[in-house]
A and B are shown apart, each in its own frame.
Chain A
Amino acid sequence: MEIKVLGPGCPKCKQTEKNVQDAVAETGIDATVEKVTDIMEIAGYGVFGTPSVVIDGEVKSVGKIPTKNEIKTWIEK
């Protein structure tokens, strides 16, 4: 599984990345977590804002910090 956290870098982005890392660690799912900070690459996902979370190419959340439990429901499917 490939998880991307989109965001140039700020407390919200960092918290989102942490929640993703924690969710992956707690579920034990084999996943890579990548932080995407390049504005042009982020724009390519068509998101209105950041932070955003993309799992295996599917945009799961935009402009908010998803909770760890919310992320778990996405990666355990």
Chain B
Amino acid sequence: MAKGCCTPGGNIMILACSGGSNVGQLSNQAAVELTQEGFGKMFCLAGIGGNLGGFVRSAKDVSAMVAIDGCEIGCAKAILDHAEIPIKNYLVLTELGIGKNKDFNLKAEDIRKVKGAVKSVCE
């Protein structure tokens, strides 16, 4: 929820798959850092997946959004499709040339690459 009064215009909703692999966690870390840097605001994909009304309605009503999937399985996209939420901007991290594995020691270089790609896809 916005701390200030009312949602500022152009506030970008960031939805990360936050999955159980390096690329899933890269999506999460990028979303966290982009939120901290003021680029947008990370929102709860789990709430949408759980079909909680406020979360689903928020994603349907938001004017700007980016969904980040770690890999081509596309869990974030599947959740949004299932909830009939239009996906405005979309990114799959393995398509950036980042290999999927179970190493959770995320590389700063990869995080920077993901953040840059998120910003580009939102332009």
Tell me how far the C-beta of A9 lies from the nearest C-beta in chain B, rounded to whole angstroms: 6
Please classify how large the interface on chain A is, using the bins under 10, 10 to 19, 20 to 34, 35 or more: 20 to 34
A48-B5 in contact (CB<8A): no
| A43 in the interface (beta carbon within 8 A) | yes
- Report whether over half of chain A's contact residues are helix, strand or loop; otherwise say mixed: loop
B contacts with A, residue count (CB < 8 A)? 23
B2-A49 in contact (CB<8A): yes
A48-B41 in contact (CB<8A): yes
**Mind listing 29 A-B residue pairs with CB under 8 Å?**
A7-B6, A13-B6, A43-B1, A46-B44, A46-B54, A46-B55, A47-B57, A47-B58, A48-B2, A48-B13, A48-B41, A48-B43, A48-B58, A48-B62, A49-B2, A49-B6, A49-B7, A49-B62, A50-B2, A50-B6, A51-B6, A59-B53, A59-B54, A59-B58, A62-B57, A62-B58, A62-B61, A62-B62, A63-B6
- Which residues in B have some Cβ–Cβ distance to A below 8 Å? 1-7, 11, 13, 41, 43-44, 47, 52-55, 57-59, 61-63
- Which residues in A have some Cβ–Cβ distance to B below 8 Å? 7-10, 12-13, 39, 42-43, 45-52, 57-64
